[in-house]
Structure 1
Amino acid sequence: MAIRTPLQKDEIRLLRLSLDKAVPNSQPVITFEQVSLSDPDFPSFVALSYVWGDLEDTLPLRVSGEVIPATRNLHVILQCLSSANFDQLLWVDALCINQNDLLERAAQVALMGGIYSRASYVLAFLSPLSEPFDLGLDFLQEAARDSELHYEPSLSPHISVNGLTASSESLRESLISFFAVPWWTRVWTVQEYALAAKVIFQCGNRQMEGGIVLTAFRNLATHERKCCWAARRAADGNARGFLDYPSEANNGLTLFKATLRINNLNCIVNAEEFGVQDLLGATSLFRTRQCSDPRDRVFGMLGLYLKDDNLQKMLPTDYTISTGLLYRNLAMAAIESSQTLDVLSHVLHRPSIHKRTPGLPSWVPDWDALMDDDYHLMYQERTDKLRHFSASKDLKPKWILRDSGLVMTHGFQFAKIAATAPGYPEPGSTTGGKQLLEKWRQLSGLPREPIASPNGDSDESKQEWAFQRSLCGNVTLSQWADHSCDHTAAYNTWHSWFTHPEPASLPEDARSTAREFDFLVQIASLGRCFFVTEAGDMAFGPESAQAGDGVFIIPGGRVPYVLRKVDTSDGLEGQAQVYEFVGDAIVDCAMVGEKVEGSPLFQDMGII
């Protein structure tokens, strides 16, 4: 059996496919060609972007005399390509990289950014079948062709395919199926798509350029914002509709969530426009994607071209270290690179999140944890708004790591949690809006009904205004920013909608305003808890926060943090108090440096 020749520093392997059609059901003939990236005559090639499939389901594949186990999914793809007379050089990670050689694997992974960007195009092979996706692909073609076409069938002109509209089940199922294939859920395909000079999607014998898919999405997104949101409005007035009908054939995926998958790729391709500045932002954006090796959640993002690449340079691709150590290294590097504690806002301690990396310190995010799409969307929106805050002003972090994973820092406790209440109702929850809002207002010391004008000088008016700010996470939309009365009017409209037994009876313009306000409330409170401090300040914080937990300002933190005392101080200088990190919080009157004015006394402490 031949052995692959070791690669030099700038070399890669390419594949050439051929098929003996004179022999029925013959396997493709595959040969290696070893080339140097620095060669001025470097050949044109295509990079394959695909999903490996079940790693336990492999078949032998003969390449240049060497038998290499390859997944059944890759066998099918190569058979399809060779049968279609694919005659270009091809780069396939599973074959062109010796997966059993950890050093070669690390070196080649580090080159993958250059490989995908130098390919003449990236072939994203989604399925050997075309028929299930034909209607959906035709719909995308139409959406990209004419930006004036609505997807809401009650508006004209609207998209129609063979007489079917987006509300038609068969067309909707086909479109969902396109975005439901595993390619859209894997970590490595992000880099492969983002770095490509050109992407071609292939389903069976059907191909579509990636630019068409992206243009279609952008046109649809514009219509969703401006005119077609009725597609997400159910009879109860809530933001649901045929875009949110679950597809039984695709594990309950909805059309809205399906198109979010191309939205995230759009964000990374236009990283600066959408505020994805560094490795931390990219890793969090694709946190719900999957990979066979949890270390690839980090390594799979290293090749991206981001505005701030300092963090990428600090984390070499190294498959000899554990997942837990890699995630800890990422957290430390993020703090050092940014001189902020932004990484702490990616720590998610909540019961519904299934953590899979054992032994992590409480302050290190588990990037391999499982979470649902609804929570991930709101978490992304919430962390994106960190840049608006400066709780510790311009103080720089002091974050000293011990071998045990404990860090020494210093902080200032400005509040203690007095009471908590649940956050925004989860999808499918039986908790009523009226019941929940009454609980929030009760904890805040406010009457059930909002004060008509919270702009007065009375304590109750000030508390009412603080409550309305807090519900939106201390941010507002531009159309309400100039006058507090505009924000209050929007709050009153939302209050009526959120507590109304029949929201559909409200005027359509009121429901539109309520929808915009409600999105801000969800960002601040979905998967979180509402709490008040002993001093009466209102906040949204981690779902696991409890009465008695401390609320701290820590240098480098844009937001306050909730910490819980741990009964140990063994081995710490000066017997400093030790805490467990619970999560970040948005606390009224503590977001732009109010609590650090006058140079409060910061105390040394440890966080395990």
Structure 2
Amino acid sequence: MAESSSQHAGSNQPLYLPLLESHVIRLLHLEPGAPDDPVVLRLALVELEHAPDYEAISYVWGSPTITKRITCNGRPLDVTVNLHAALVRLRYPDQDRTLWADAVCINQGHVRERSHHVAFMNIIYRYAKDVLVCMGRDPDGGAKDVVALIDEHKTRTSGHTPVSQMPIISPDDPLLDDPRWKSLAVLLERPWFSRAWVLQEVGMGEDPKVFYGDSVFSYRDLMQVERWIERCASNLQTRHGISFLSIHIGWEYWTPDWRSHSPWPEYTLLDFLGQARGLSCREPKDHIYAFLGHPLAQLEDGSGPIIQPDYEKDTRAVYQETATILFKDSGLRTLSSVEHDYSTIAEDFPSWVFRGNVELVQNALGVWRGYYFRASASVVVEPPTPTEENNLGLRAIIVDVVSKTYQFSTTSEDLESPSELRSRQPGDHQPVSLDRVWHDIHSDETPCKYPSDERLKAFSLTLCAGLTNYERAEDDFAVHWANFVAYWRLRLQCTSTSPSLEGLEEGEKKGDEERFWLDMSLSGEGRSFLITQRGYYCLGPWIAEPGDLCCVLLGANVPFVLRKTDKENHYRLVGETYIHGLMRGEVLDTMEENGYTEDSVIIC
């Protein structure tokens, strides 16, 4: 039935009547037309569980101030340019098409209705016959190349399931030089991939279809290509500028059986929310609400999400409610999901609360349990409970004081890629943080905790937090070292007229400079290289500063940086850190030798 039988042109009735109870939704009937015809819609109310077949649209809203006029229920309605383009692209020439699009099917001006619908948005997409992903125009004319690459990849992967069974492509494989990969890079730069809500939209679909220019292809097939690039052909990322967020392949499915599809079925809600910080949304609360449809964020009895969406609630209250849930589920791993910028660390708000809208680093070291880090060895503690003052009481071993900091940018400005280095003349290069670290670790005035013949080893491993392709770099240190030497020799040759290559002798095997750069970027972007008073090398929080304390919180897998407050034993949590040589319980093994003591700390 129509939303209102009297809603015709000139009617004084509102376009929307509030939908605040049960699963009653609006569907839109898109009338047929040619590409240049006006867009005409009719809205109808249906009970979701008894709805006719419909397709749900996934798209990027775009600017709310730049609109185009359509007709809805016989009256004018302004919609964003992107939604207008999607409706034109999806419209049939000779018959109606029944769709669901959030901007029209939810009264966006009614806060309570928005809150109510967000609570079961996952069901709306799950019940859809198809999910239609509208990527917009094809800016470089490469959509057909993308389709061809996807089809060729399906042939290549035949008989190889999962992708981990496939061979890693060598750096000199001609497949890496295929110019069509640049068209894939252009597609993956589309704004759609950076938006928070789209994960749920495609995650609930059985086989979402991507509309890109004039081409249509399977979203699932595209994800298979991304998964293969990350695991087997990472050099494509540097050579062709292919960039994508791993969350799309790690959280591709949102159905109840998502673990059977996931490369990492052991993931928890903390893993999910931590990886999702890099996604954007207009409403800060949506950094939580956009992910409540995933099974990990649903109540066990199936009655709805663990947090009831409420757009009238204060954003910080939403974050604190979420943090309390995460602590109960994941304990001290939750602290590794906390990041701060200069403004949030200064706020009168608990520093231990996970904030979905602060995202600086690519990789939270202490969240995923698959990493080798065990800074507090086998110590196990109960999940901390916030006090009435919203503080956390913990046991800690203070390791050292930060002496020097070298801040890396949240992009590759400091950690230049091999291709960027090759494009520069040495005389034009301006020293960046990475160059200053290199200079200072060679200075006799800079303390060094490590033997002189292991100084560069410690430096190389610290830059990538001891990881290569998510595995422990020291398990095949010869390969890591060859990759580091290849990158650093290139860096020195391209940034200095008379580079010193002492200690960087090439071995029998030529290293892969692109692999080291990827490892360094994954761990280093958005962090700072730290040197402590005792000479430890650390990869720590972006906002760390001299005088901050490096410590091991008992029960946590990685060390942390704390900042003193005016109140005794009260500290602000600055963030997690990698401390070379102290990531596998060494602090507890050498407490007496190094004069360490266990203390009570209060994180406020």
Interval containing the TM-score (normalised by the shorter chain): 0.7 to 0.9
Distance across 2 between alignment mates of 1:446 and 1:411: 25
Task: Quote the residue 1:250 is aligned against.
Answer: none
Higher mean Cα deviation, 522-531 or 84-93?
A: 522-531
Show the 5 A alignment for 1:477-556: 487=477, 490-491=480-481, 494-495=484-485, 497-499=487-489, 501-502=492-493, 510-512=509-511, 516=515, 519-556=518-555
CA spacing shift, 1:438–1:174, aligned 2, 3 Å: closer
Equivalent position of 1:297 in the other structure: 287
Output the CA distance in 1 between the equivalents of 2:111 and 2:172.
Answer: 57
**CA distance in structure 1 between the aligned counterparts of 2:415 and 2:171, rounded to whole angstroms:** 29
Change in CA separation of 1:512 and 1:89 when aligned onto 2, cut-off 3 Å: same
Deviation, 1:398, is: 2.7
d(CA) in 2 for partners of 1:473, 1:172 = 30
Decide which of 10, 30, 36 is 1:17's aligned counterpart: 30
The answer to whether the Cα contact below 8 Å between 1:133 and 1:203 also exists between their aligned partners in 2 is no
Give the TM-score taking structure 1 as reference length: 0.74
Alignment partner of 1:563: what SS?
strand
Which residue number corresponds to residue 559 of structure 2? Answer: 560
What is the rounded CA distance, in whole Å, between the counterparts of 1:292 and 1:432 in structure 2? 33
- Paired position in structure 1 for 2:335: 344
Name the CA shift for 1:56/1:469 in 2 (closer, same or farther; >3 Å). Answer: closer
Look up the match of 1:247.
none
The within-5 A match list for 1:73-222 is 73-82=82-91, 84-85=93-94, 87-127=96-136, 132-147=141-156, 155=173, 158=175, 166-167=178-179, 171=180, 174-221=183-230
1:34 and 2:81 matched: no
- Seen in structure 2, the aligned counterparts of structure 1 residues 19 and 314 have a Cα distance that, compared at 3 Å, is closer
By how many angstroms is 1:521 displaced?
Answer: 4.7
CA contact (8 A) 2:334 2:367 kept: no
How far apart are the structure 1 equivalents of 2:371 and 2:339? 19
Contact 1:551 1:562 in 2 (8 A): yes
2:371 & 2:289 partners in 1: Cα distance?
Answer: 26
From 324, 338, 363, the equivalent of 2:352 is 363
Give 3-state SS (helix, strand or coil) of 1:122's partner.
Answer: strand
Q: How many residue pairs end up in the alignment?
A: 538
Work out the CA distance in 1 between the residues paired with 2:205 and 2:468. 37
RMSD after superposition: 4.3
Report the Cα offset of residue 470 of structure 1: 4.8
Pick from 396, 403, 406 the counterpart of residue 422 of structure 1: 406
1:251 corresponding residue in structure 2: none
Give the C-alpha shift of residue 284 in structure 1.
2.8
d(CA) in 2 for partners of 1:387, 1:493: 21
Deviation at 1:345, TM superposition (A): 2.1
Distance in 2 (CA, whole Å) between partners of 1:153 and 1:551 is 39
CA distance in 2, matches of 1:135, 1:43: 34
Distance change in 2, residues 1:296/1:411 (3 Å):
same
Matched, 1:269 2:252: yes
CA pair 29-430 structure 1, distance change in 2 beyond 3 A:
same
Distance in 1 separating the partners of 2:402 and 2:74: 71
Quote the offset at 1:326 in angstroms.
Answer: 1.5
Which ranges of structure 1 fall in alignment gaps of 5 or more residues? Answer: 160-164, 233-239, 244-254, 455-462, 570-575
- Give me the TM-score of the superposition, normalised by structure 2: 0.75
**After superposition, where does 1:271-420 map in structure 2 within 5 Å?**
272-274=262-264, 277-306=267-296, 313-340=305-332, 342-349=333-340, 360-369=349-358, 371=360, 376-377=361-362, 379-380=363-364, 383-384=367-368, 387-392=371-376, 393-402=379-388, 406-417=390-401, 419-420=403-404
Change (3 A) 1:94 1:175: same
Change (3 A) 1:468 1:125: closer
Kept in 1, the 8 Å contact 2:341–2:542? The answer is yes
Tell me the residue number matched to 1:585.
577
Cα distance in structure 2, aligned partners of 1:293 and 1:57: 18
Q: 1:11 to 1:108 in 2, by over 3 A?
A: same
CA offsets, 1:176-232, max 9 Å, x none? 33223222221111110111111111134432222332333344445515xxx3x56
CA shift, 1:583, in A, is: 1.5
Secondary structure in structure 1 of the residue aligned to 2:251: helix
Q: CA deviation at 1:273?
A: 1.8
Shift of 1:513: 5.2
Q: Check 1:278–1:130 CA distance in 2 against 1; reply closer, same or farther (3 A cut).
A: same
Question: Which whole-Å CA distance do the structure 2 matches of 1:184 and 1:493 have between them?
Answer: 31
- How far apart are residue 9 of structure 1 and its match? 0.6
Give the match for residue 236 of structure 1. Answer: none
Question: Percent same amino acid at aligned positions?
Answer: 21
Give 1:586 deviation, angstroms. Answer: 2.0
Is the Cα contact below 8 Å between 2:56 and 2:101 reproduced in 1? Answer: yes
Q: Spell out, residue by residue over 1:52-111, the C-alpha distance to the aligned partner (whole angstroms, 9 max, x if none).
A: 221123455443356654323323322343354463321111122222332222221111
2: distance between equivalents of 1:538 and 1:219?
34
In structure 1, the residue matched to 2:79 is: 70
In the TM superposition, what whole-angstrom CA distance separates every residue of 1:24-45 from its partner, at most 9, and x where no partner exists? 83432423142231x3xx4221
Equivalents in 1 of 2:346, 2:457: separation in Å?
42
Give the distance between the partners of 1:72 and 1:4, measured in 2 at CA.
Answer: 21
The question of whether the paired residues in 1 share the 8 Å contact of 2:270 and 2:367 is answered with: no
* In 2: Cα distance, 1:556 partner to 1:479 partner: 21
Q: Is the 8 A contact 1:528 1:542 kept in 2?
A: yes
**Counterpart position of 1:445:** 448
Structure 2 residue runs without a partner (length 5+):
1-12, 159-167, 254-258, 409-413, 421-429, 496-500
With over 3 angstroms needed to count, the CA separation of the structure-2 counterparts of 1:521 and 1:90, relative to structure 1, is closer
**1:284-303 deviation line (CA, Å, top 9, x unaligned):** 32323221211111111111
CA distance, structure 2, for counterparts of residue 188 and residue 357 of structure 1: 30
1:607 aligned onto 2:600 = no
* CA drift at 1:46: 0.6
State the SS of the aligned residue for 2:396: strand
**Distance in 2 of aligned mates of 1:519 and 1:439:** 24
Deviations 1:403-428 (A, max 9, x none): 6xx41413324223152242674337
Displacement, 1:329? Answer: 2.1
The CA deviation at 1:360 is 4.5
Task: Give CA-to-partner distance per residue, 1:509-534, whole Å, 9 cap, x none.
Answer: 74435655555455454443344444
* CA distance in 2 between partners of 1:80 and 1:349 (Å): 42
Q: Report the Cα distance in structure 1 between the residues aligned to 2:517 and 2:407, rounded to whole angstroms.
A: 13
Q: 1:34 to 1:133 in 2, by over 3 A?
A: farther
Contact 1:126 / 1:183 at 8 angstroms: preserved in 2? yes
